[in-house]
Chain A
Amino acid sequence: MAQTQYKYIRPEDIRRLSRYEFGVKALVEGYLSGRHRSRERGASIEFKEFRQYAPGDDLALVDWRVFARTDRHYLKTFEQETNMECHMFVDCSASMGFRDEGPITKLEYASFFAACLAWLVTLKNDRVSLQLFDDKIRQFLEPGSTRRHLHQILTALENTRPGNQTSLPEALHRAHPLIKRKGTLVVLSDFFDEPEAIFKALNPYLHRGFRVHLFHTLDPAELHFPERGLARFIDMETSHRLVVHTRTMRDAWQQELRRHTQTLRRLAAGRQVDYALTTTAESWFKLFDRLA
């Protein structure tokens, strides 16, 4: 892996990722008894709680000593250690191909992060899935933890070109039945969608107990609006054309973007969803801190 032929996994990234560990504090739901705690009760040495017996419970789990003391049937449950699942949603709509002041496009930035995350997850034998979406799911790679699976993910990322319009809510809606087990949901997008619709689409995941991370990826030029004078702006997704004078629009743009991000942040905070705004000029490694 030190000598990699993949575009989005570079040797220096690998060296740096060696210092990271994914999901050490996260509770996961896995099929392997492994290194992660699970919310499912299972066979392990980690005591979880006593629970009153209910019909259908395994009688082997009844704690007879408690029964002797209290004359009641209690089950002794233990924490189940399992493997973790991470589901990555990478926006590959046309707007993600924008690059102005940043060194790379937003899609490349998201791909770098997704590649690193996939490498980090599979490194610990956890499972990772990938959804490449625009206004629909362009490509879905089911969770996996093998090197082959990692290869598929990296290849898919490299072969992805930005195009079409964004519809994150639609993509989340369509992906919901494909994801069998709950885990960590990481969304990488520029979020040029209605915040209310996005969080409405996230609700089923949250209800199932997913841990959700929204990484809002923008080019630095999108943050402060580029100075282009009188220019014809062409929407990369819709090809809509608009003649504006950037100097007169700058303040309004910034104000509008600030309102948009504040709305996202407010809705995320209300649902205990992690939201982070990053630009392509920044290192994607800071996002791993949010996953720790």
Chain B
Amino acid sequence: MQFFLTNTAWLWLLSLAAVPLIVHLFARSNPPKFRFSSTVFLQRIMKKTARLRKPQDWVLLLLRTLAVLALLFIFLQPILTGENSIAGGRKTSICLIDRSASMASKDGAESRFSGACARARELLASGAADEANVIWIDAQPDAVFPQPGPNLEFIQDALARAELREEPGALGAAVQLAVSQFDEVRGERELVILSDFQSAAWSDFLLEVPAGIKVVKVKVGAADVENLAVHELFSSPADPVVGQDVLMVCRLRNYSATPRRTTLYLDFDGGRQSREVEIPAWGEAEMNFKTRFSQAGQVAVSAAIAEDVFPGDDTRHALVPVREALRITSIAPREDSLHAPGLEVLDRLAASLDWLDHRTLPAGDLPAPGTTDYVFLHTWDGTRLEALRNLAATGTTLLVQPALGCPLEVCEKLMGLPVTNNPGAIPVDTKGGSRKSGNQVGWKAGVSRLASDKSPTFAIFKSGEFGNPAAGLFQRRLRLPAEWPEDILRLIDYEDGIPGLLSTRGNGSAPIVLWNLPMSGKLGSWSAQSPFVPFMGELLLTSRAVSRGGAIEAMPGDILSWAPGEEVSPDSVTLHDGNGQRRDVAVEMTPQGLRLSSTEPAVPGIHRWKIGEGVAFRQVVNFPATESDLRLMNPADIRGGDVVDTRTLLRRAELGEGIPLWPWFVAATLLFLLIESLVALWNPKPGKQARPLG
């Protein structure tokens, strides 16, 4: 706090503070003389009361001096201002108001966001700043003004009209925006952060602002709020084909210290399922709904629980892209290769499975990422390693059958394994005999002993109805090492332990299957066996990349966009939000073609791009999961800035303008005079134990 004198022209009055001292000294030095008979008693009394009398005299002098000083300060018109206030300087305040989804939580009847806006309005109304601005902390932080401005009334109106957004808060971007606006500002700069300081959002945030910017943190929100949220909803597989068994996985989270029980509803395709679910304290519960879809296309699925105190995250949506068919692309071997008939085997397999399309690319080609679900390399020579890994990373499952002479080292590299000290090509084992001669020789294979009992690939084979998935004999094989790291799934092994099919787990990418079971009829009889088709069907369905449909899910606050294709007129396309409300669309021509974008940030719900009356494309926007945890943190734990409550903030605002102190000095003058009177009236008496004279 700083102390200013407004009326400094009267500063000379302060010299009058010496008047009581002068009066005191002169009054004592030259009082009227009085000849008295004897001062013996007086001396005795003075000696007895000096211990009390002298302090009393000094106290009286002090009180009189203070009274005069207080009286003089009334004329000097002092003002008390804020700690960093610069007299006559300009002050710029930027209010950083959190309007992320967690601010919807209510303390009583008022939401935290409303409270933050109200406090910001009070702050501006108090005249704390000459110029101000408001920056919203949401997914895409923006400001009311491009630069802090003096039109505080407009900002107050904007605060009154502001609405919460169910978006996460981009703290760093918001602070950065505020700092950039302060760059052009001179004078006192104050950044006021009004937020609930949700622990999930702020705990890892590093609040760094340049020196010279005063940071004030104002916490809105009294206490943690218990919440139950639908945390995740996805299908497994992410993009099933028609008729495929699909598991709709729904995960609920309990953000409270007590176990909660609720009913989970799953709506899709016009149907509804419900389950009772109990979620442990601060825990998660997963509910699986098994279903299958009869039509291709985007299927909207919604999971909901009974509404609680924080309803924003009680519903979650998912769009399941149900596909007509999966595409497997063969990279053709050389025509003279013994594996060449494998192409024909896959053609027959695709003809047998409605949901599978097969096409062939010439040797040396690779499909573009995202254009096929599987790539079968019938004779991989170990080249284009990075391109293959890229394909796997983008979700294309690789079925790799090493060619003769392919080194084991590149196979290990492709599968992301540490390279063993085993240079040279993979050795090849061959057994003679042919069907014609009737001398059937070859290796037998079966489900690996190391395969998991729970492996979905072999689920239908457990009963024995479909026989051995690797039935038949194999006349040639690669002699792969028998030992592989535990990360590698052993699917099919030869009887002597040589691996037949190995697969990576596909963490974060599509699986890569190392294929050592020749499909060609020239090299074995497996493809001619009845279990071949069901096994291949199961293998392909269970070897897909695990994804959760991110491509068609947008984050709240994002701009939704869709490229309808060149044949579509942009005028015929409309965008409708989850409530059926039409949203404005912006048209943009890009090198890739026409692109339509929403003009406003997306809100949770299923958004529909319509061409005419028909729904052409859907996009889902879900409540940000990070906003469901409504536990708050102490703003003091965030490094930088002061933590103040609202009252203190307003008090500081008042101080910034300056508090006129003259009424206080009037009161002080009266108080000092009153005390002076009381002290003067107080008459210390000599002690009762005083000795009599003599």
Contacts and interface: CB of A to CB of B under 8 A. Distances in A.
Interface of A: 95-96, 98, 106, 190, 192, 194-197, 219, 222, 226, 228-238, 240, 242-244, 248-249, 251-253, 255-257, 259-260, 262-263
A238 B36 CA distance: 10
B647 interface: no
20 contacts: A219-B37, A228-B32, A230-B27, A233-B39, A233-B42, A234-B36, A234-B39, A236-B35, A238-B39, A240-B39, A244-B42, A248-B683, A251-B685, A252-B49, A252-B685, A253-B41, A253-B45, A256-B44, A260-B692, A263-B693
B592 interface: no
Nearest to A199: B694
A231 B693 contact: no
Contacts of A106: 37
A236 B34 CA distance: 10
Contact of B38 (A197, A237, A255, A259): A237
B36 A233 contact: yes
Contacts of B663: none
Nearest to B39: A235
A219 B35 CA distance: 13
Contacts of A243: 28, 31
Nearest to B683: A248
A133 B37 CA distance: 16
A90 to B, nearest CB: 16
A232 B41 contact: no
Contacts of B31: 229-232, 243
A263 B692 CA distance: 7
A256 B34 contact: no
B33 interface: yes
The majority secondary structure among interface residues of chain B is mixed
Contact of A98 (B32, B36, B41, B43): B36
Given A235-B40, A255-B686, A256-B45, 19 more contacts: A96-B37, A106-B37, A190-B37, A192-B37, A194-B694, A196-B694, A230-B31, A231-B31, A231-B34, A234-B35, A236-B36, A236-B37, A243-B31, A248-B53, A253-B41, A253-B42, A257-B41, A259-B692, A260-B693
B694 A197 contact: yes
B37 A228 contact: no
B34 A233 contact: yes
A238 to B, nearest CB: 8
Interface range for B = 20 to 34
Contacts of A226: 34
Given A240-B43, A263-B694, A255 B685 contact: yes
Nearest to A252: B45
Interface in B14-37: 27-28, 30-37
A106 B694 CA distance: 23
Nearest to A266: B692
A6 B34 CA distance: 32
Contacts of B40: 192, 235
Contacts of B685: 251-252, 255
Contacts of A98: 35-37
A187 B60 CA distance: 46
B118 interface: no
B37 A242 contact: no
Residue among A190, A237, A243, A252 with the most chain B CB within 10 A? A252
A195 B691 CA distance: 13
Contacts of B48: 252
